[in-house]
Amino acid sequence: MDISTAGGLLFLLNEDLLTRIYSFLSGDSSDKKSFRATCKTFYRVDSLQRTHLRILRPEFLPQLLSKFPCLNSLDFSGCPRIDDGALAVLLRNGSVPFWATKLRRAVLSRSCGLGYYGLDILVKSCPVLEIIDVSYCCTFGDLEASAISCAANLRDLRLDKCLGVTDVGLAKIAVGCGRLEKLSLKWCLEITDIGIDLLSKKCSNLKQLDVSYLKVTNEALRSISRISKLEVLAMMRCGMVDDVGLRYLGKGCPLLQVLDISRCDKLSSTSIVSVIKGHNGLIELHASYCFFELHLTPYCLSLELKNIKTLTLDGARIAHSSFQLISTSCKFLVEIGLGKCKGVTDNGILQLVSGCINLKMLNLTCCGDITDMAITGIAESCQNLVCLKLECCNLLTEKSLYSLGSFSYLLEELDLTDCSGVTDLGLGYLSRCSKLVCLKLGLCTNISDKGISYIASCCTKTCELDLYRCSGVGDDALASLSVGCKKLKKLNLSYCNKITDRGMKFLGHIEVLSDLEIRGLLNITSEGLTAVAAGCKRLAELDIKHCENIDDSGFWALAHYSRNLRQINLSNCAIRDVGLCMVMGNLTRLQDAKLVNLINVTVNGFELALRACCVRLKKVKLLTSLRFHLSQEIVEMLAARGCRVRWD
C-alpha cells in the first residue's frame, strides 16, 4: 500500500473510531506521543481524551489548558516556579475558566512559592476538587490549611512535611472537609494527640490515615481506634507509642486491613497479638525494626492471621517456633520480609515454605546463614515466586541458581548483590528464568562477559540490570546486551573498569535506555559519551561522576542530543565553563544536578550555568566553598525559583 492510499484510508476513520483505537494504546506515554504526532486529526483525538497534565513550564500553561478541554487533573510538582501570582493570572482574577469547574485533582508537591492566597483562589475556583497534594511544601502552616479547608468535596489530602501545620490547622481541615477518606500527615511534627482526637470525631468517613513520624502518644491511638471505617493505618517511627496504644487499636477499627508499625521501637512482640486479635480482615502487617525478638503464640496465629497476605518483619530476631506457626496459619501469604533478621536458618525457611506455597515475594537480605538448601526448598515449593531478594547471602553457590532456573519460571526480580558465590555457570542456569525483568548483580566479582551473555540471550524482557563494581564485565557484555536486551531501561555499570568507548557504542543501540550510571569509568572518553547521547534519546538520568577523561566535546554532544535528561551527576568530571553552560542551558527538562568538585569550572562559569537553568532546576548540589564565592543574587534567585541547594 502506497502513502497516498494510506492517507486516503485515514479519511474513512471518523472521530468515534479513532477514539476507540486510541483507547487500545498501552499506558506507555511514548505510544500516545507517537499517535498524536501522526497528523492533526490524531492530535485532536488525543487532546479530547487527555485528562491529566504534568506542568514543567508555567508560561505555556494557558495555551495547554485551552488545547485539552477534558482535563481533570493537573500536576505542578515538576514546576517549582508556580506561585500565588501565577495561579491568580491562570484563574483570571475571579472569572472562573471552564477547566477549573472540572478539575478534581491538583498536585502541588514542593511548590514552595505557593501560599494562602494562591490556595484560596484555587480551592474557591474548583468546586469539584477531590484530591490535593501539597506534600513537602515545608513552609505551609495553619493559614494554608485554612484555605484547603474550604474544599468541601475533598476526599484525599497529602500534607507530608508541611512543617508549620499544627493542631489548629488540622482542626480547620477536619471541620471543613468532613468527606475526607484519605489523609497523610507524615512528618507534620507540630500535630499532637489533640489534633488527631478532633480528626477522629469529625472525619468519620476516613479510610486511610498516615501519622508516621508524628510525636503522638497512646492517646492518639485511642482516638484513631474510634474511626470505624478505617482500613489503612501507617504509623512508622511513632516513638512515643507502646504496647498500651496498640491494645487500644486492637479493640477498635473493625475494618482495618493494612497496618504499618515499622520502627516503633517501644513495642514488644506481644503488641502484634494485641493488634491482630479481633481483626480477621487484616491483609497486610508491616512490623520492621520494631522489636528485638518475635515470638508468636499458636492461639493468635490460628485464629487471626488466616487472611494475611503480606507480613514484613525485617530486623527482628525470629524464634524458631515462629516459622512453623506462620507456615501452618498463614496459608494465603503472598509476601514476607525477613531482611536482616536474626535466627533465619535453612530449617526455618524450609518450614516456612512447606506451608506458604503461594509466596510471590520473599526478602532474605543479609540472612547470611542460609545456604543452597534453603533456596532449593523455596524454588521447589513456591513456584509462583516473582521477587526474591538475596543480597549479602554469601553461602549461596551456583546450585541455588540451578534450582531457581529449574523451578522458578515466573521469577521477575532477583537481587544477588554482593553474593560472592555467583559465577558465569550460575548465570547460565539462571538464564532459564526468561521472565526476568530486574536483575541485581552488584559486587559479584566472579562473573564475566560470558555470564552476562547467557542472561542477554535468554532474558530478553530485562528492563533493569545492576552490574555495580563487577570488575570482570567489559565491552563484550555490552555487545550481548545491545542485541538481546532491547527493553533495557535502567543500567548500572559504575566502576566496571574494563569498559571502554567500544562498549559505549554498543549501548547506543539500546534506544529505550533511560537511566544510566557509569561512575568511575576511566576508559570512557567523549567519543563514548557521544555515542550514548546520540543513540539513547530517552535518557532521563545520567551519572558520570569521576569519568575524568571526558572533555567538553562529549558534554556538547550531551547538550545537543539528550534533551530528555532530568537528572545528571557531573561531579569530579573534567568539564569546563563552556561545557557546563551548554549542558545546563540546553537541557530544558533538567531538574536535578550534582556539580561537586568541578575543578576546571570557574566561579563565573558556575554563575552563568546556574542562571541558564534556574527557571526549571529543583535541586542542585554544590561544593560548600562555593557558597562564599557565588553572588548573593544567584543564591537568592535559586531560592525564589523553588530550587533547593545542597552544600557538600
By DSSP bridging, strand 490-492 and strand 464-466 are parallel
Alpha-carbon distance 417 to 406, whole Å?
21
How big is the CA angle at 402 (ends 397 and 408), to the nearest 5 degrees?
120
Query: What does the pLDDT read at residue 29?
Result: 64
- What mean pLDDT is predicted for residues 578-589? 94
CB of 106 closer than 8 Å to CB of 130: no
Query: What does the pLDDT read at residue 299?
Result: 57
Check whether 541 has a pLDDT greater than 90. Answer: yes
Name the pLDDT band for 578 (thresholds 50, 70, 90).
very high
Query: What does the pLDDT read at residue 229?
Result: 96
Alpha-carbon distance 571 to 569, whole Å?
6
Determine what percent of the chain falls in helix, strand and coil, rounding each to the nearest 5. 40, 15, 50
Query: What does the pLDDT read at residue 264?
Result: 94
Check whether 260 has a pLDDT greater than 90. Answer: yes
- Percent of the chain at pLDDT > 70 equals 93
Task: Decide which of 435 and 296 is more confident.
Answer: 435
Please give the mean pLDDT across all residues of the chain: 91
Check whether 3 has a pLDDT greater than 50. Answer: no
- What mean pLDDT is predicted for residues 57-75? 83
Domain ranges of the chain: 523-647
Q: Is 289 left (phi over 0), alpha (psi -120 to 50) or beta?
A: left
Query: What does the pLDDT read at residue 12?
Result: 61
Q: Which residues contact 75 (CB under 8 A, 6 or more apart)?
A: 52, 53, 54, 55, 107
Alpha-carbon distance 164 to 173, whole Å?
14
303-329 residue pLDDT tens: 556 789 999 999 999 988 889 889 988
What single DSSP character describes residue 170? H
Tell me the torsion sign for CA atoms 322, 324, 329, 334. positive
Tell me the torsion sign for CA atoms 460, 463, 464, 467. positive
Name the pLDDT band for 96 (thresholds 50, 70, 90).
confident
pTM across the whole model: 0.91
Give residue for cell 494557558.
62
Q: Which residues contact 645 (CB under 8 A, 6 or more apart)?
A: 619, 620, 621, 622, 635, 638, 639
Check whether 10 has a pLDDT greater than 80. Answer: no
Straight-line distance from the first to the last Cα atom of the chain, in angstroms, rounded to the nearest whole number: 61
Query: What does the pLDDT read at residue 640?
Result: 78
Query: What does the pLDDT read at residue 48?
Result: 73
Alpha-carbon distance 571 to 622, whole Å?
9
Cell matching residue 309: 497476605
Query: What does the pLDDT read at residue 471?
Result: 95
Name the pLDDT band for 459 (thresholds 50, 70, 90).
very high
- What mean pLDDT is predicted for residues 464-483? 98
Check whether 296 has a pLDDT greater than 80. Answer: no
Task: Specify the range with the lowest mean pLDDT, choosing from 7-11, 288-292, 412-416.
Answer: 7-11
Name the pLDDT band for 270 (thresholds 50, 70, 90).
confident
What single DSSP character describes residue 458? H
Cα–Cα nearest to 580, from 563, 547, 558: 558
Q: What is the CATH number of domain 523-647?
A: 3.80.10.10
Q: What is the largest CA-CA distance in the chain?
A: 77
603-622 residue pLDDT tens: 999 999 999 988 788 899 99
Query: What does the pLDDT read at residue 133?
Result: 97
One-letter amino acid for residue 373 of the chain: M
CA-to-CA dists, residue 503 to 138, 458, 550, angstroms:
44, 20, 15
Task: Decide which of 280 and 401 is more confident.
Answer: 401
How big is the CA angle at 150 (ends 145 and 156), to the nearest 5 degrees?
70
Check whether 93 has a pLDDT greater than 60. Answer: no
Highest mean pLDDT among 10-19, 115-124, 475-484, 582-591: 475-484
Task: Specify the range with the lowest mean pLDDT, choosing from 159-168, 203-212, 289-298, 455-464.
Answer: 289-298
Query: What does the pLDDT read at residue 291?
Result: 80
Q: Got the DSSP string for 358-390?
A: T--EEE-TT-TT--HHHHHHHHHH-TT--EEE-
Name the pLDDT band for 153 (thresholds 50, 70, 90).
very high
Alpha-carbon distance 568 to 516, whole Å?
10
495-518 residue pLDDT tens: 999 999 999 999 999 999 999 999
622-634 residue pLDDT tens: 999 999 999 999 9
CB of 259 closer than 8 Å to CB of 285: yes
Query: What does the pLDDT read at residue 303?
Result: 52
Query: What does the pLDDT read at residue 276?
Result: 79
Cell matching residue 343: 535466627
Query: What does the pLDDT read at residue 1?
Result: 44
Cα–Cα nearest to 90, from 78, 99, 77: 99
